[in-house]
Amino acid sequence: MRLHRNLVFATVDALSNIFNEGEYADKVIEKTLKRDKRWGSRDRSFIAETTYDIVRWKRLYTEIAEVKAPYSRENLFRLFAVWATLRGIEIPDWKQIEPTPTRRIKGRFDELSKIRKFRESVPDWMDEMGVEELGEETWEKEIHALNQQAPVVLRANTLKTTRENLQKELAKEAIESEFIEGYPDALQLKERANVFRTEAFKNGLFEMQDASSQLVAKFLQVEPGMRVVDTCAGAGGKSLHLAAQMENKGQLIATDIYANKLKELKRRARRAGAHNIEPRVIDNNKVIKKLFGSADRVLIDAPCSGLGVLSRNPDAKWKLQPEFINTIKMTQAEILTQYSKMVKPGGKMVYATCSVLPSENQQQVEKFLASEYGESFKLSEDKKILSSKTGYDGFYMALLEKE
């Protein structure tokens, strides 16, 4: 592979924004890719994938390169040189990159790879927490799986198409995909591609949604005509799937505390042809109270640590703090208590997270069931999805029934 100066420089600029300015990797990459209209799809994927790789392996690479934050440009080029050396890519003779000690880099890599927190590039506290929550053996496999690049998975929008038809439409635009067994609406791309530029996307034939996440709406067992509340709807990934499951019939109330997320949901719903979604911002208690005892189905796709989605969001390893996880657990418990009151007798509720930590998942459900508010619920089934077992995001979902 020949390295192109402007692509490497763009990558180094992106890393500076992420590491030194604390900006979110996905936003920085999106902005960086707009910088030069002449970049083709290979150039764009070089920038995106190299940046994500260096973010993912930040701890390992900074140890190998012996650099510390805040990172000067010279040090960012050193990190880049580590990335290239470990991939066997020849480093050009540019003045920005000092002569690279290839043997030393490989030697340090071998030495550091013996220690999990360096090999898997995680902060000490996260490694300790992972072991405490999942046990040494499971954590080891899980963090390894969460450090792999996530596959691109789409969900066929059954309001407009079938996945067979979607596969054909994408093939017309030179995008090859395959079905995934056990995930009835999912298509996985054979090669990464910018699917957002396709006609199929513009026409609302699909959403990008990980395979594990696609199990949540089905788990809630919604039917056309029901009254369903998606309590933590965000930008609507699950709401759109629920609307499709409901065949646009019945009422789907989508709530969130952030109006801007619901605005994005509305935009996506329009494209998807999902007409039965009613977004409602939770700006006071009344919004929730009005819904008490009224819903056939309630989805709580709770805010969480996001530890199950590190493959697609590797900078969370450096942004997350243990204090945040403690706070979010309190929010999860409050949300379970409050929002469970919306379920009517005989109704069902799903509590879900994109975390692999039992303390955010089954332990939250156990505590809820043992509480005064959880007394009238019983657990029908739960799924603990590990990325190391499925190759998709880590997820948890529990189906609870109200007597």
Ligand X SMILES: C[S@@+](CC[C@H](N)C(=O)[O-])C[C@H]1O[C@@H](n2cnc3c(N)ncnc32)[C@H](O)[C@@H]1O
Residues 5-24 that bind ligand X (CB under 6 A): none
- Contacting ligand X within 279-298 (CB under 6 A): 282
Of the pair 236, 374, the CB lying nearest ligand X is at: 236
Residue 62, classed as helix, strand or coil, is helix
Q: Which of 257, 275, 375, 380 binds ligand X (CB under 6 A)?
A: 257
Helix (H, G, I), strand (E, B), or coil: what is residue 235?
coil
**Count of Cβ atoms closer than 10 Å to residue 363 Cβ:** 14
Q: How far is the CB of 345 from ligand X (least distance, A)?
A: 23
233 binds ligand X (CB under 6 A): yes
Q: Site for ligand X (CB under 6 A): how many residues?
A: 18
- Count Cα atoms within 13 angstroms, Cβ side, for 307: 30
**Least spacing, CB of residue 282 vs ligand X, in Å:** 5
State the Cα angle at 272 between 292 and 274, rounded to 5°.
Answer: 35
Nearer to ligand X, 105 or 235 (CB): 235
Asked whether residue 283 is marked as a ligand-binding residue, the answer is yes
Contact status: 335 vs ligand X (CB under 6 A): yes
Residue 258, interface with ligand X (CB under 6 A)? yes
CB of 259 to ligand X, least distance (A): 10
Q: Which is nearer to ligand X, 231 or 390 (CB)?
A: 231
Nearer to ligand X, 226 or 335 (CB): 335
- Chosen residue from 204, 237, 314, 394 binding ligand X by CB under 6 A: 237
207 bridge partner residues: 155
Q: Is residue 36 a known part of a binding site?
A: no
| Dihedral of alpha carbons 375, 376, 380, 383, sign | negative
* Among 56, 78, 108, 238, contact with ligand X (rule: CB under 6 A): 238
Out of 44, 261, 271, 341, which residue is the one contacting ligand X (CB under 6 A)?
261
- Decide: 203 and 231 in contact? Cβ < 8 Å: no
What is the C-alpha to C-alpha distance for residues 265 and 203, in angstroms, rounded to an integer?
Answer: 16
Q: Which two tokens stand for residue 29?
A: 């990459």
Using alpha carbons only, give the angle 378, 380, 383 rounded to the nearest 5 degrees: 125
C-alpha to C-alpha distance for 203 and 205, rounded to whole angstroms: 6
Exactly one of 79, 354, 357, 385 is catalytic; which is it?
354
Would the annotation count 53 as a binding residue? no
Query: What's CA 167's distance to the chain center, in Å?
Result: 23
* Candidate list 303, 314, 374, 394; residue touching ligand X; CB under 6 A: 303
Distances (CA, A) of 351 to 176, 333, 395: 34, 11, 11
**235 touching ligand X, by CB under 6 A:** yes
Closest to 81 (Cα-Cα) out of 172, 12, 169, 129: 12
No. of H helices and E strands in the chain?
A: 19, 11
Looking at the Cβ atoms of 81 and 235, the one nearer to ligand X is 235
Query: Which residue numbers are catalytic?
Result: 354
Q: Give the residues lining the site for ligand X (CB under 6 A).
A: 231-238, 255-258, 261, 282, 301, 303, 331, 335
Q: Which residues are annotated as a binding site for S-adenosyl-L-methionine?
A: 256, 283, 301
